[in-house]
């Protein structure tokens, strides 16, 4: 769009209702808008969808729930107001233009009036037949109010940003009247609901749309809204309520006239309470419809389950359908009673069948256990072995009503056979022990005799130790043989000690003689003490006395020699002193 006064304008094609970035600080970008939904529902569908015919008679649904009390709504202005009545009576565009003539008498403040005039002139540069202009606060996605001029044409409406300081148009946003779905009158504002997003979306709305998309919920006619707070004419004009009603009526009537050529449905004009009631009624209708569908499905499933259970005489297939029918709303009580009675009857039949089957199984098990126990008792009596009795006895005890006398007889037989077995095992163990003792005794006796003969020949008692020890451990070895072995061992050990003593005496005597000879030759008695000690232990007394005398003699000689040496040293020392004095 070009400004007829030569002023450049910036179209707001990106749905940004803020000033350009060159004029104000940039705001964080809003989340991306979802693609338009061409299948969005038409505005204001029927409050209650038509319900399919019921499969079975059901009680009438309860009345719709009363909506919770809402915030106090602005009272509606009667349609008898001349301006509103003339707008409502307009049937075409010329009559609407004539009906809007009283709007020229509204007097805003000079700044606002200049803004409206400038915006209408600006829009008229490209869009003919400007119908009306209103100064409002546009509420953006951040819930901030921004001064805007709403300019209405036969096919579109413009949201124009006017700068009071410069008297110029900053930017604008154009919306087609075909996009209008609902016009809502609130306590102090107007909400315009469109078919697609008008401006940027807030974060909360972006998140809610994502949740709805995740839940596969279709948007309704109240999905996209833009709120405008009208600014009341301060110099001359109606009240704020009349301004709100007038703007809503003008938007609705213009869109209605435009719909005759554009083949789109005109928007509805409602209040906040009416919108809430519409949503409540729609939610209640959807709830009742879902309840009816679930009730019919649960009833049909329960009937099929009853039919199947009646044929099969099995109640398992009734549990889930009965539970589902109980959860459903207002299912026929007679159908539920029929299902419960059939379930109880089938469960009683099942219990009776299980009881008879249990009794039959007990009878079969009792007879089998009795036969097995009798056969085991006969086999144990013949073989005198009780190993085949424990399992049949245990089975007979588990079985029902097996003869107690038979079980007692089997247990007594088992005890007797176990006692016989223990006695046999004791006797066998005793026989094995005696045989092992005999074998060990004979072997120990033979080994000891051989060791005695060998020791007599070799005169060595080393080979008698182990055979004697083994014979003493053996049972009932001949005592005389043990005594003979002990006596021989003692005699041989005595002989060995005597031989060792004589050898030690001879060795000590030889060592002492050699030490004496060495001492005599070397006149050194250092090798005599050890030889004297060994000779004294061996009993060589004569040689010991000779060695001790020699040691004393050598010691005396060494002492005399040392004394002479000391005397000579003293003499030399005296002579040396006298010669020194004479020299002086």
Cα(126)–Cα(135) distance, integer angstroms: 21
DSSP designation for 236: B
- What's the average model confidence in pLDDT over 462-482? 88
Contacts of 475 (CB under 8 A, 6+ apart): 437, 440, 441
- What's the average model confidence in pLDDT over 71-96? 70
pLDDT in tens, 476-527: 888 988 888 888 889 888 888 888 888 888 888 888 888 888 888 888 878 8
Same domain, 452 and 549: no
User: Do 103 and 132 form a contact (C-beta atoms < 8 A)?
Assistant: yes
Same domain, 353 and 305: yes
H helical segments located in 189-266: 203-214, 240-262
Cα(122)–Cα(126) distance, integer angstroms: 8
Same domain, 134 and 238: yes
Residue 151: inside a domain: yes
- Residue 145, CA distances (Å) to 139, 166, 172, 321 in order: 5, 20, 16, 57
Same domain, 254 and 167: yes
Q: Is it the case that residue 357 has pLDDT exceeding 50? A: yes
Residue 501: inside a domain: yes
Q: Is it the case that residue 573 has pLDDT exceeding 60? A: yes
Q: Is it the case that residue 43 has pLDDT exceeding 60? A: no
Q: Any idea what the CATH number is for the domain that residue 230 is in?
A: 2.30.29.30
Task: List residues bridging with 292 in a β-sheet.
Answer: none
Same domain, 411 and 468: no
Q: What pLDDT sits at residue 97?
A: 87
- What's the average model confidence in pLDDT over 394-416? 93
- What's the average model confidence in pLDDT over 460-480? 88
Phi-psi region of 6 (alpha: psi -120 to 50; beta: other; left: phi over 0): left
What does pLDDT average to over the chain? Answer: 81
Residue 342: inside a domain: yes
Q: Is it the case that residue 3 has pLDDT exceeding 70? A: no
Least confident of 371-380, 431-440, 567-576: 567-576
Q: Which of 331, 360, 389 is the last residue of a domain?
A: 360
Same domain, 309 and 164: no
Residue 280: inside a domain: no
User: Do 406 and 412 form a contact (C-beta atoms < 8 A)?
Assistant: no
Q: Is it the case that residue 34 has pLDDT exceeding 50? A: no
Cβ atoms within 10 Å of 379's Cβ, excluding its own: 13
Task: List residues bridging with 349 in a β-sheet.
Answer: none
Please count the structural domains in the chain. Answer: 5
Contacts of 210 (CB under 8 A, 6+ apart): none
One-letter-per-residue 3-state SS of 303-370: HHHHHHHHHHCCCHHHHHHHHHHHHCCCCCHHHHHHHHHHHHHHHHHHHHHHHHHHHHHHHHHHHHHH
Sheet holding 190-194: strands in order across?
10-11, 168-176, 156-163, 145-152, 132-139, 224-230, 190-194, 180-185, 268-271
Residue 41: pLDDT band with limits 50, 70, 90? very low
Question: What percent of the chain has pLDDT above 90?
Answer: 32
Q: What pLDDT sits at residue 409?
A: 94
Q: What pLDDT sits at residue 578?
A: 63
DSSP designation for 131: -
Radius of gyration of the chain (CA): 67
- What's the average model confidence in pLDDT over 549-578? 82
Q: Which of 489, 506, 523 is the last residue of a domain?
A: 506
Residue 45: inside a domain: no
Residue 2: pLDDT band with limits 50, 70, 90? very low
Same domain, 415 and 311: no
Residue 536: pLDDT band with limits 50, 70, 90? confident
Same domain, 402 and 448: no
Q: What pLDDT sits at residue 23?
A: 28
Query: What's the domain range around 529?
Result: 511-574
Q: What pLDDT sits at residue 459?
A: 85
Same domain, 411 and 521: no
Cα(519)–Cα(389) distance, integer angstroms: 99
Residue 212: pLDDT band with limits 50, 70, 90? low
- What's the average model confidence in pLDDT over 392-411? 93
Residue 462: inside a domain: yes
Residue 581: inside a domain: no
Q: What pLDDT sits at residue 544?
A: 83
Same domain, 250 and 130: yes
Q: Is it the case that residue 217 has pLDDT exceeding 50? A: yes
In this predicted model, which residue has the larger pLDDT, 301 or 107?
301
Cα(514)–Cα(526) distance, integer angstroms: 13
Q: What pLDDT sits at residue 439?
A: 94
Q: Which of 329, 360, 391 is the last residue of a domain?
A: 360
Q: Is it the case that residue 47 has pLDDT exceeding 70? A: no
The two three-digit tokens of residue 294, written as one number:
């679930």
Task: List residues bridging with 193 in a β-sheet.
Answer: 182, 225
pLDDT in tens, 8-32: 454 454 444 433 332 233 333 333 4
State if pTM tops 0.75: no
Same domain, 186 and 250: yes
Q: Is it the case that residue 337 has pLDDT exceeding 80? A: yes
Same domain, 411 and 456: no
Residue 68: inside a domain: no
């Amino acid at each position: 769009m070009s400004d007829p006064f030569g002023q450049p304008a910036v179209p707001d094609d990106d749905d940004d209702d803020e000033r350009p970035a060159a004029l104000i600080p940039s705001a964080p970008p809003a989340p991306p808008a979802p693609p338009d939904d061409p299948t969005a529902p038409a505005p204001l569908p029927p409050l209650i969808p038509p319900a399919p015919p019921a499969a079975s008679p059901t009680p009438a649904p309860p009345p719709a729930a009363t909506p919770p009390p809402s915030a106090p709504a602005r009272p509606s202005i009667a349609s008898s107001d001349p301006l509103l009545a003339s707008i409502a009576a307009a049937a075409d565009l010329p009559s609407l233009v004539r009906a809007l003539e009283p709007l020229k008498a509204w007097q805003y403040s000079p700044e606002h009036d200049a803004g409206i005039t400038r915006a209408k002139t600006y829009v008229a540069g490209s869009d003919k037949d400007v119908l009306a202009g209103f100064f409002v606060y546009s509420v953006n996605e951040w819930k901030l109010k921004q001064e805007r001029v709403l300019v209405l044409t036969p096919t579109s409406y413009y949201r124009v940003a006017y700068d009071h300081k410069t008297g110029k148009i900053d930017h604008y946003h154009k919306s087609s009247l075909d996009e209008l779905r609902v016009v809502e009158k609130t306590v102090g504002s107007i909400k315009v609901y469109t078919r697609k997003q008008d401006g940027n979306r807030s974060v909360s709305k972006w998140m809610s749309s994502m949740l709805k998309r995740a839940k596969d919920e279709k948007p309704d006619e109240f999905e996209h809204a833009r709120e405008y707070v009208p600014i009341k004419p301060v110099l001359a004009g109606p009240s704020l309520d009349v301004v709100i009603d007038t703007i809503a009526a003008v938007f609705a009537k213009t869109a209605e006239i435009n719909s005759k050529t554009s083949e789109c449905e005109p928007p509805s004009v409602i209040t906040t309470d009416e919108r809430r009631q519409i949503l409540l009624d729609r939610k209640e209708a959807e709830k009742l419809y879902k309840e009816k569908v679930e009730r019919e499905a649960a009833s049909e499933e329960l009937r099929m389950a009853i039919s199947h259970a009646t044929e099969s005489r099995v109640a398992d297939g009734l549990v889930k359908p009965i539970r589902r029918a109980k959860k459903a709303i207002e299912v026929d009580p007679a159908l539920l009673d029929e299902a419960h009675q059939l379930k109880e009857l089938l469960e009683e039949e099942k219990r009776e069948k299980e009881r008879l089957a249990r009794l039959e199984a007990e009878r079969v098990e009792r007879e089998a256990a009795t036969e097995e126990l009798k056969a085991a008792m006969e086999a144990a009596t013949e073989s005198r072995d009780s190993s085949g009795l424990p399992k049949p006895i245990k089975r007979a005890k588990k079985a029902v009503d097996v003869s107690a006398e038979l079980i007692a007889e089997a247990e007594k037989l088992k005890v007797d056979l176990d006692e016989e077995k223990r006695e046999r095992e004791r006797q066998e163990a005793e026989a094995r022990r005696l045989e092992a003792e005999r074998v060990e005794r004979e072997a120990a006796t033979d080994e000891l005799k051989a060791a005695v003969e060998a020791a007599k020949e070799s005169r060595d008692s080393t080979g008698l130790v182990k055979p004697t020890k083994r014979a003493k451990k053996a049972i009932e070895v001949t005592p005389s043989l043990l005594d003979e072995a002990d006596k021989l061992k003692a005699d041989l050990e005595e002989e060995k000690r005597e031989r060792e003593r004589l050898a030690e005496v001879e060795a000590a005597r030889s060592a002492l003689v050699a030490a004496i000879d060495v001492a005599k030759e070397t006149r050194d008695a250092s090798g005599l003490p050890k030889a004297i000690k060994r000779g004294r232990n061996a009993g060589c007394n004569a040689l010991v006395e000779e060695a001790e005398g020699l040691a004393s003699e050598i010691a005396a000689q060494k002492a005399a020699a040392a004394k002479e040496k000391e005397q000579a040293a003293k003499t030399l020392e005296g002579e040396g002193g006298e010669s020194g004095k004479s020299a002086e």
